[in-house]
Structure 1
Amino acid sequence: MQKAAGLIVIGLCAQWCGTCRDYLPVFDALAKEEPDQRFVWLDIEDEADLVANLEVETFPTLVIGLHDQLLFAGPVLPRLSDARRLLAALWEAHMEGEAPAASRLLPDQRRDYLAIVRHVINTGA
């Protein structure tokens, strides 16, 4: 995928979640393939205050932002090929000026997911 640095990819997970544990190596492999992007694995129980307004019910959930814009927030299948396609499609849509997939979320949901992206930007998490 050819893109400038700046994507922030946040994996929302829980330590007790077996699917999340299975997805972590996939997430790490994607991070190695995309060294110019920022990947953060966030345990929702360790960061309960940050995710308090979200109702994350399906794991793993990815939150993807570009600078101060939310591009995607939702559950994903724990497969590397799916994650690659998702990042490529989001980047392509962004480059073509299309509305991000996250624009379909309810305004409160967008605000709360964007708060996580901003937290990562501001804290260097």
Structure 2
Amino acid sequence: MSSLTLEPDTRDQVAAAVSGDGWIVACLCAAWCGTCSSYRAAFDGLAARHPDKTFVWIDVEDRADVVGDLDVDNFPTLLLQRGDAVAFFGTMLPDAGVADRLIQAQAGLSTDELSRQAVSTPERQAWQRECNLRTLMANADE
């Protein structure tokens, strides 16, 4: 399975895919970014290795209606979320092995531990308010 790409014609499909309590792994990139272009194949490879998770590729400029207010400092930026709990939001080395270890580590946490971590620091609390992909997509529809 490859990743989904958030586009106007796939918006409903992506919204349905992220609506449950499963894991979402989103990569925020830009079409002009050479690193992002190179990383896309690795990201799709991660999706194939983790078929139980939803992988979404989001171009921050093309989908500014969804992610426009997110503070994306560099590319690629990954967003890991289970249900409504944002587990990670940040710049990632464009290395599939590093991303795979992050995904496995987060997916190995219990629901209670994810909930505790979600409020454990001001940064993580901000992730919950600002980075929830389901909320961002719903707000963009308004």
Interval containing the TM-score (normalised by the shorter chain): 0.7 to 0.9
Distance 1:92 1:54 in 2: 26
Identify the match of residue 16 of structure 1 among 17, 24, 32: 32
Identify the match of residue 111 of structure 1 among 91, 116, 129: 129
AA matched with 1:82: V
Change (3 A) 1:53 1:119: closer
Instruction: Give me the CA root mean square deviation.
Output: 2.5
Aligned residue number for residue 42 of structure 1: 58
Q: Displacement of 1:94 after TM fit? A: 3.5
Residues 1-125 of structure 1 aligned to structure 2 (within 5 Å): 6-94=22-110, 97=113, 99-100=116-117, 103-104=120-121, 105=123, 107-114=125-132, 116-119=133-136
Change (3 A) 1:54 1:119: closer
Q: Is the 8 A contact 2:119 2:125 kept in 1?
A: no
Distance 2:42 2:91 in 1: 14
Q: TM-score, normalised by structure 1?
A: 0.80
Change (3 A) 1:117 1:9: farther
Q: Is the 8 A contact 2:66 2:137 kept in 1?
A: no
Change (3 A) 1:97 1:8: same
Q: Is the 8 A contact 2:118 2:125 kept in 1?
A: no
After superposition, the C-alpha distances for 1:39-90 in whole angstroms (9 at most, x for unaligned) are 0000001111212212212100001100111111001011111011001111
Aligned length: 117
Change (3 A) 1:18 1:94: farther
Report sequence identity in percent: 39
Q: Which structure 2 residue ranges, 5 or more long, are not aligned? A: 1-20
Q: Is the 8 A contact 1:64 1:117 kept in 2?
A: no
Q: Is the 8 A contact 1:94 1:100 kept in 2?
A: no
Aligned residue number for residue 15 of structure 2: none
Distance 1:6 1:90 in 2: 12
SS in 1 for 2:63: coil
Q: TM-score, normalised by structure 2?
A: 0.71
